[in-house]
């Protein structure tokens, strides 16, 4: 009987240990002592993640020029947002895009360019949705690096940061069909879809600035509070951190005592909202049916689209930086003689479907 009891104790201990990580664990204080303000990381886990990132990276083509002049007028046709590049840098950027985005398709340039009936690539034509979307994404990345340095830093980002060689990033989201109980998989009991916070101008602050006495009107409901928690939990999962990475533990709403990371996160929320509103939503009519969600909307971005569980995307690996690629470090303009940027395909053009082998659905954290 004693042996049986000992066995049960040992089995219980082993079961409890499966939820723990092996030491050592690094802890960095981010606030006052005794308040639990710390960032915890496991060097072994981080090293494994960094090795996995390095294994996926393909070397970028060439190096950025020290200085360059835009290509002479007439060099290209229908180049709408890369008119500031020289011919050599334009070609280098196109090659890098096939590595960053189209590598997984095996199609190279043909993933974004029309191939006619004789097998000739028509680089001018916009009659394929992937080219329309790619142009919009180039403009978005230019905007990120030029106008959101307070969040992406001086190094900036490039297409690889999110795509990592795949046509679609891993973490994107659609509107959930709540009528059928299809709320996002990770947060089944959430009162409403947390990702909407990254699209709408809806705040999530629920903590009152004053004592809630009987004569104080409190417009915040229990569901509002639950929604705020789901939004925060989603962000912590996206960045691989805990609440105290951005908040002061005794006083969640206090900005003066919060770490600087809270300001960075707020800028990231505002940035993501703007990107969804200015770049993702306007693409609605460009997506083929297989790229749409259950409610008929196109994909949208969230924190995890770039971060993928790391507090710095890809732990700051240089392969995800944009600073060495002049194509995406400033707002581009049309090449001389090219039309103004558009997100619309030619209505007379035949429909073009998704590239073979590309993912067609995805929502939430995966």
Instruction: Give the chain's domains with CATH numbers.
Output: 61-162+323-341 (1.10.468.10), 171-207+221-307 (1.10.468.10)
Q: What are phi and psi of 158, to 5 degrees?
A: -135, -175
- pLDDT of amino acid 364: 32
Low-confidence ranges of the chain (pLDDT < 50): 17, 179-188, 347-366
pLDDT score for 333:
94
pLDDT tens, position by position, 154-182 = 999 999 999 999 999 989 999 986 544 44
- pLDDT at position 174 is 93
Is the sign of the CA dihedral 239, 97, 323, 298 positive or negative?
A: negative
Residue 296, both tokens = 């008929």
Bridge partners (DSSP) listed for residue 122:
114
Task: Give the model confidence (pLDDT) of 229-259 as tens digits.
Answer: 889 999 999 999 988 899 988 888 888 888 8
Partners of 366 in the β-ladder: none
Contact 154, 323 (CB under 8 A): yes
Instruction: Please count the CA atoms within 13 angstroms of the CA of 109 that sit on its side-chain side.
Output: 13
């Amino acid at each position: 009987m004693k042996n049986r009891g000992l066995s049960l104790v040992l089995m219980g201990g082993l079961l409890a240990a499966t939820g723990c990580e092996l030491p050592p664990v690094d802890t960095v204080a981010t606030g006052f002592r005794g308040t639990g303000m710390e960032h915890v990381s496991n060097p072994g886990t981080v090293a494994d993640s960094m090795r996995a990132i390095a294994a996926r990276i393909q070397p970028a083509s060439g190096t950025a020029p020290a200085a360059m002049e835009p290509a002479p007028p007439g060099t290209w046709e229908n180049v709408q947002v890369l008119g500031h590049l020289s011919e050599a840098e334009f070609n280098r950027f196109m090659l890098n895009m096939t590595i960053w985005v189209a590598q997984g398709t095996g199609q190279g340039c043909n993933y974004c360019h029309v191939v006619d009936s004789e097998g000739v690539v028509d680089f001018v034509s916009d009659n394929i949705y992937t080219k329309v979307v790619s142009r919009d994404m180039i403009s978005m990345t230019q905007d990120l690096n030029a106008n959101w340095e307070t969040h992406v830093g001086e190094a900036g980002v490039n297409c690889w940061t999110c795509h990592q060689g795949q046509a679609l990033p891993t973490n994107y989201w659609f509107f959930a069909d709540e009528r059928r109980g299809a709320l996002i998989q990770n947060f089944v009991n959430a009162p409403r879809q947390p990702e909407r916070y990254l699209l709408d101008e809806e705040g999530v602050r629920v903590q009152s600035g004053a004592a809630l006495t009987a004569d104080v009107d409190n417009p915040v409901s229990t569901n509002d509070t639950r929604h705020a928690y789901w939004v925060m939990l989603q962000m912590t999962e996206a960045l691989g951190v805990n609440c105290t990475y951005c908040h002061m533990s005794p006083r969640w709403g206090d900005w003066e005592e919060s770490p600087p990371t809270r300001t960075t996160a707020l800028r990231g929320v505002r940035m993501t909202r703007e990107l969804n509103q200015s770049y993702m939503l306007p693409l609605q009519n460009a997506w083929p049916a297989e790229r749409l969600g259950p409610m008929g909307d196109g994909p949208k971005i969230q924190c995890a689209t770039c971060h993928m569980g790391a507090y710095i995307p890809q732990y700051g690996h240089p392969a995800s930086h944009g600073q060495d690629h002049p194509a995406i470090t400033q707002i581009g303009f049309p090449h001389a003689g090219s039309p103004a940027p558009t997100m619309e395909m030619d209505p007379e053009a035949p429909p073009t479907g998704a590239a073979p082998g590309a993912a067609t659905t995805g929502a939430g954290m995966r």
